[in-house]
């Protein structure tokens, strides 16, 4: 019953990407990303801190200019630092984070378990940041 109530509050969905490497004919290692899990229930909220604060993003001006975007994700899925997140959307399918109608891809910075009152893991809190995609 407890897991049903907790998972019912996840009002968004996301897709999880995993890294895949292969070697081409010349011996070069090529890194790619494949969708691992589609439609993972979650709650995603933009956070800001430091620099010029705009909801969900941060700009820092020093010797170099940084444009950073952080999102806090709560989910029942244990994310790895080797995963990427994309297509964060409402249950109705509207993209929450997009750039020119293309879903933004996020790198996982870290994930930590949230324990329930009886010591069991009830969900995970993860911090993700916008990936540098070339």
Render pLDDT for 40-74 as a digit per residue (tens, 0 to 9): 999 999 886 654 444 455 555 566 655 678 999 99
Residue 26 lies in a domain: no
Six-digit token pair at 11? 């009002």
Residue 43 lies in a domain: yes
Residue 58 lies in a domain: yes
pLDDT (average), residues 80-89:
94
pLDDT (average), residues 89-106:
92
DSSP state at residue 24: -
Q: Assess contact for 32 and 17: CB atoms under 8 A.
A: no
User: How many domains does one find in the chain?
Assistant: 1
pLDDT for position 22: 84
Q: Assess contact for 55 and 28: CB atoms under 8 A.
A: no
pLDDT for position 74: 96
The two most distant CA atoms of the chain are separated, in Å, by: 55
The domain containing residue 75 runs over which residues?
2-21+31-130
Residue 96 lies in a domain: yes
Predicted TM-score (pTM) above 0.85: no
Residue whose C-alpha is closest to residue 35's, from 20, 21, 49: 20
Residue 69 lies in a domain: yes
């Amino acid at each position: 019953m407890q897991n049903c109530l907790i998972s019912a509050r996840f009002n968004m969905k996301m897709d999880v990407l995993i890294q895949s490497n292969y070697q081409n004919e010349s011996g070069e290692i090529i890194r790619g990303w494949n969708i691992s899990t589609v439609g993972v229930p979650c709650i995603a909220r933009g956070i800001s801190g430091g620099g010029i604060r705009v909801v969900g993003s941060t700009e820092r001006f020093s010797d170099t200019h940084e444009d950073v975007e952080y999102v806090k994700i709560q989910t029942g899925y244990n994310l790895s630092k080797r995963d990427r997140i994309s297509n964060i959307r409402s249950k109705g399918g509207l993209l929450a984070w997009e750039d020119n109608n293309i879903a933004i891809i996020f790198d996982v910075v870290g994930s930590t378990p949230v324990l329930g009152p009886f010591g069991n893991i009830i969900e995970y809190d993860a911090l993700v940041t916008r990936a540098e995609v070339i």
